[in-house]
Amino acid sequence: MSHAIEVRELHYRAGKTFEIRDFALSVPTGSLYGFLGPNGSGKTTTIRLLLGLLRPLGGRIAVLGGEVPRDIPRILARTGYVPEQPHLYPTVTVAEAMRFHAAFYTTWDWPWADDLTRQFQLDRDSRLGQLSKGEMGKLEMLLALAQRPELLVLDEPTDGLDPVVRRDVLAALLDYVSQQNATVFISSHLVHELERICDWVGVMDRGRLVAELPMQSFKNGIKRLRVANPPALPGDTPFVLLARETANGALETWTVRGWQAPMGQYFEGVGASLREVIDLDLEEGFVELLRTFREPRS
């Protein structure tokens, strides 16, 4: 499997409190990769490192086959980027912002840019400083898409947008991905949004990658189990035990990752009995994952 983004042993420090250390990430080419994490977990910093906007202290970053920062102009020419905060010049108009952006990208697609302008109902003569948050979000997405990138890096692109605008922006994104086999790396703390569109997920917290796996495995693999007569020491489990809590008396609730039905045999082997397997949705799984990461089982 080839990777549009590959990060190994990344090390970066900002100030005295925040650090990314031993960070590794692999984004398969053509995937829709959801980059999940709570606010302040380091998602935006990681994205800025990927795009060469920040310099790491160590490690290796490869994007679209090029090394960061050595090949960064070539990488950026093939990458559409929507940052977390609006970054465009507020004094120019929508039409001028499009012309400015187009001047830097040989792959810029004017007919499609015009289509998106109409689709997003953007007034070409409006100054960017006068645009609403939703309109600015649409324009940022328009600029990223109309350059026809091989890789889209979207940093919380729908954060703070109303549901209608969010739907428009995501629809345009999915439309593009269906036309072109582009890779999308999208960060968000809105778990349900990513659940609908992504096929891979990476979870980041406190500067570390907590988990990285196909979305289906993530959704199916995290379960809550009701276990009667559980062993004091779980021993060598065939799944990853994230947390165990006493429910009542001899009944315990186990949160596990990597669960598959045949693994129920494990409980018979240790003298316990599995009473119930509860599916967790992505958000619950995400919360459990972070909880375990922050309070590791002793």
Choose which of 8, 9, 22, 90 interacts with another protein (CB under 8 A): 90
CA distance 190 to 195: 9
DSSP E strand boundaries for 86-233: 151-155, 183-188, 200-205, 208-214, 223-228
CA-based nearest residue to 189, from 42, 12, 28? 42
280-to-103, 122, 257, 289, 292 alpha-carbon distances in Å: 48, 40, 11, 11, 15
Helix axis angle for 110-119 and 94-102, nearest 10°, is 150
3-state SS, residue 165: helix
Sole window of 7-15, 58-66, 83-91, 216-224 interacting with another protein (rule: CB under 8 A):
83-91
Angle at the Cα of 80 from the Cα atoms of 189 and 59, rounded to 5 degrees: 70
- Would you give the DSSP letter of residue 31? -
Interaction residues for another protein, span 183-242 (CB under 8 A): none
Interaction residues for another protein, span 47-76 (CB under 8 A): 51-53, 72-76
Choose which of 19, 96, 115, 284 interacts with another protein (CB under 8 A): 96
Q: Which is nearer to another protein, 88 or 194 (CB)?
A: 88
Question: C-beta of 263: minimal distance to another protein in Å?
Answer: 46
Question: C-beta of 147: minimal distance to another protein in Å?
Answer: 9
Q: Which is nearer to another protein, 74 or 244 (CB)?
A: 74
Residue 103 near another protein by CB under 8 A: yes
Residue 42 near another protein by CB under 8 A: no
For another protein, the binding residues (CB under 8 A) are: 51-53, 72-77, 81, 83, 85-92, 96, 99-100, 103-105
